[in-house]
Each structure stands twice: as C-alpha cells, then as structure tokens.
Structure 1
Amino acid sequence: MIDTHVHFWNFDPIRDNWITDEMSTIQKDFTPKNLMRVYNDFKISGCVAVQASQSEEENEFLLTLAEQNEIIKGIVGWIDLKNPNLTGRLNYWNNFKKIKGWRHVLQAENAAFILDKDFISGIMQLKDYGYSYDLLCYHNQLEHIIKMVDQIPDQPFVLDHCGKPDVKSQDLKTWTENIKTLAQNPNVYCKVSGLLGEADWKNWKELELFNCFDVIFDNFGANRVMYGSDWPVMLISRPYQDWFNLVSKYAERFTGEERNLIFGDNAKAFYNL
C-alpha cells in the first residue's frame, strides 16, 4: 500500500506561517521516522512526499530525506512554472529520479494566476519529462481549474484532497457538478485525502465524509482514485489510524482488485513508483 500524500518539515514559524495557532498540534518537526510505527501497523510500504514550501530548497530537503528513508518512494516538488528558464530547471531536476511531479499552492492564488498563459505554458512542458502535476485548490476554484486543464488535455493531473469540498456545511451541489466535469478528462485522477481539514475538526460525522467519497468514486471510479492521508496536517482533527480506518471502511464496498487499485496500484502507475 502507498500513502500518496504526506508532508515533512522542520517547523519554521515564519516560513510555515500557514500553520496557525489553532493548528498548534502540528507546529513542530515531522520526519519519516514519525510514520514508521503506523505504516508498519497498516502494512503501508511507502509514501509520496509532497512539497509544503514553495522553493527549490524544498526539493533538496525532500531528496535528502528520500536518500535516508526508504519509505519515500516519490516526491512532488515545487518549481517556478513561469520561469523563463523553466526548461533549464526541468533538465536539472530530471537528474533526480525520485521527483515524480510538481505542485504549486493554487488555493492561495486567484483566477488570473491559474489561467495565466505563462503558467499554463509551464505545465505544458511537464509531459516531455514524464512529470505529473498535483492540483491543490478549494472547491470554489474548480471552475478555473477545469478551464486550465481543458487547455492541456494530455497532461497527467491529480486533484489533491478531492478539490476541498465544504464538508462542514455539506453544501456540495456546485462542487459535485464541477467534479463531474473535471472527471470527464481521463488524464485527471483524484486523491481521497485531506478532507478532515475541511470538516468540523472535532465534531465531523462519518456520513459527511462518505457523501463526498460517493461523488468522487461515482465520477472518477476506483481506477482513478488514490488513497492519501495528508499527514501531518490531518492530525489537527484525528490520529492517522482514524483516517485510514475510515477510508478502509468505505472501501469495503469495492472488490479486492479495486481496493488494490485505490490503496496502491493507481499510485504506482500514476507516479511511476
């Protein structure tokens, strides 16, 4: 089994100012060693480490961790996709085979950034190197994401955290329509991850999360969905075990072959692990 979405950091209150005081649980260092026990308990054999900081130094940090920790099977790094010398940077990072794809924190950007021609042109270069692209956005940005993805139909994308639906309010109508549209592109996958952060952290109900899972699986199908934890961010709500058990419980409705896809095989194929 593969966990397709984890972060590691040496906590820096200035760089990591997105981790607010109400998220004090995660205002500390997190390393692969913190995951070993829970991965052993659940027989999870590895993870994909995803950038948490927008700098090329982050790539170096994650590559160093990957050299020291066998559980890191792949890295989703950060690169300036608008850089006039993007080709040069991609050629450089292409020497490091653990880097499988790239991500920019689009949830912090506006529509003009998402649809910027230079940004889209940058993503267009990724397929020449076999790189994937992780889409991180809020539910109210999906309309712009769809317009962007439509311009690069042959690029492998994966939607992080189900596009961050409003789990708490359960106002899922527009999100559902946009997921339906986005999923029509066969090159777009989806990570079942990160939903605890969009729920009422301490008082969510299983049904609220399962309502979101229903939409994702109805549209992407078991062959384009991957399990991810969003550890350690999800610790603001529950221990790792609770999230893994929740997704496992929902997955009981699928065949053994489909569960293998969701918990490992899709990730291996998508990220070329």
Structure 2
Amino acid sequence: MIFDTHLHLIYRDRLNYPWLSGVPNLDADFTYSDYATEARRLGITDALHMEVDVAEPDIERETILVQDLAQESGSMLRGAIASCRPEDEEFPAYLESQRSNPFIKGFRRVLHVVPDDVSESLIFRNNVKRLSGTGLTFDLCMLPHQIDKTLALIDHAPDVTFILDHCGVPDIKGHGYQAWEAGVTEVAKRPNVFVKISGIPAYGDPINWTLDDLRPYFDHVIRHFGFDRALWGSDWPVCTLGGGLSTWVAATQGLLSGVENGERRKLYSDNARALWGL
C-alpha cells in the first residue's frame, strides 16, 4: 500500500492561484474525487495534501478546504503541509495558530519562485528555526543552483526536519545530472533531511522520457539518503505533465526492481507514518 506524501488539489472556484495562468496544462480544476478514483486503483491508501502556492490571502482557506475534504466518508487525506511566509514578521503568530491544529503536519515555502535573498534573510531563517521541537516539518523546493542557500538554511536549523522535494528538482530533460548531483550529495550529509521521490517524470522530456532517464537520479538519492530517509509522492497533478499518476506509479515500480520488500515499504509508507506519527 502506498502513502502519497505530495498531493496537490486545485479548486479554482474556491481559491486563487496566481501562477496557473503561466502553466496552461495545469490551469484547470484537479479535485479530490478525480484523484481518488485513479489512486485507489493503484494501491494508494493515504495522502498528505501539499500547498499549491495560493494567493497569500487564501493560505488559511486552502487548509480549511482540504480539512473539509478529509472529513468526508472514506477520504484518504490524512493531513496537510501548509503554505507559509517565514519572511514575514507575522509568522510566529501564524505558527502558533497552526500548531493547535493536528491536521497540519508541516509547512512549505517554494524557494525558486522568490528572489534568493528571501531565504537568506535572518528573519526567514530564524522563523524556520522556530519549528524546532514542534514535530512540524519544512519542505524544501528549490533548484540545483540554489543549493548553497538551501544548505545555509538547513544548517541554521539543525533540529528541524527538512524534506527535499522532487529529488532536488533535477533538469532531466536538459541532462542536468552534473549540475545536480554534488548539491544533493551535500544535502544528504545532513541527518535531519529526508528526500522525496516525487513526480520526477515532469522534469524529463514530456513525451519521450524513459525509465533509463530517471534511474541515475533515483539511484543517486537512494545511494546517499538510503531508504530510511526517503518518502514517496505523486506530485499530482504536476505529474500529468510527464504521463500521469498511473505512469509515475509504474515507473517507481520499475525503479524499485530488485529492491527487497522491507525497503519498498519504508519508501512507500512506513517512513511517512513514522515521520508524521500517522
């Protein structure tokens, strides 16, 4: 059974997503019911919602929407990774308000959509450090050229559990292995960081990628993080840019060929349940 740690839901009638206008293939509604129908056929039994970079006034509305969906009978939703703005002075109050909600399992601020100096500011780093001891995680979504900023943030908050999204967002289509591998190796040296094996077909050729294109990236992160610090995520609906949910699950199975069942269970479910106490 699979625990999907990276599900996005898009409800354009309920929330505002400024970035969608620049991505026509994703500028549509992607609802929980659409996801659940396919996910159940693939053996996905549980999911965490990942924030979708809604407009700032809608951040808390997004959490309320997802939490309402989780309360429906038979829902697979077990929690949410909420959006946040650690660069703001109001973050401590926001954190305190969210800590009282057990549905919130962590936070994310996508770093490659803001200037680099946002994550380099002391207020940003100190606010992320406030997660120490809370049990709340922080997802890192950055590009390979931002690795030095990412490492500085991780080292500033060694007691926070970080999660490196999408294997570090490699440029698979552009054959960007050399520009990516050293940075991921450095991140993996930090014991407080997990890696998320999520949606990497979206970074390959949208039509002609093959399992061999993905394998060097998968093998590298597993070699350095190990299965004890690896999580699986669909990145739905972004994964539809590289074939879709069923294709990504099948590709993962191919990448895991020859891996013993205990290691598979860690990646697919056990690590997520242990990390978030689910």
The residue type paired with residue 229 of structure 1 is S
Cα distance change, pair 92–17 in 1 and its aligned pair in 2 (3 A): closer
Q: What amino acid is aligned across from residue 75 of structure 1 in structure 2?
A: A
Deviation at 1:58, TM superposition (A): 2.0
Aligned to 1:208: 213
Q: Which residue of 1 aligns with 2:267?
A: 262
Q: Deviations over 1:171-220 (max 9, x none)?
A: 21131001111001111001111212211111212211111101111111
Query: Which residues in structure 2 correspond to 1:1-273 (within 5 Å)?
Result: 1-11=2-12, 15-20=16-21, 23-24=24-25, 26-52=26-52, 53=54, 54=56, 55-68=59-72, 70-273=75-278
In structure 2, stretches of 5+ residues that fail to align are none
The whole-number CA distance in structure 1 between the counterparts of 2:89 and 2:68 is 27
- Structure 1 residue runs of 5 or longer lacking an equivalent are none
Q: Tell me how far apart the structure 2 counterparts of residues 271 and 175 of structure 1 sit (CA, whole Å).
A: 28
Query: Residues of 2 paired with 1:127 and 1:21: CA distance?
Result: 36
Distance (whole Å) between structure 1 residues aligned to residue 180 and residue 115 of structure 2: 18
Q: Distance between the aligned counterparts of 1:21 and 1:122, measured in 2?
A: 30
CA-atom RMSD, angstroms? 1.9
Runs of 4 or more consecutive aligned structure 1 residues displaced over 6 Å after TM superposition: none
Q: Is the 8 A contact 1:166 1:198 kept in 2?
A: yes
Q: Distance in 1 between matches of 2:22 and 2:205?
A: 17
Cα deviation, residue 22, structure 1:
5.8
Measure, in 2, the Cα distance between the counterparts of 1:178 and 1:80: 25
What is the percentage of aligned positions where both structures have the same residue? Answer: 26
SS at match of 2:35: helix
Scaled by the length of structure 2, what TM-score is found?
0.91
SS in 2 for 1:209: helix
TM-score, length-scaled by structure 1: 0.93
- 1:79, 1:102 within 8 Å by CA — same for their partners in 2? yes
3-state DSSP class of the match of 1:18?
A: helix
In the comparison of the two structures, how many residue pairs are matched? 272
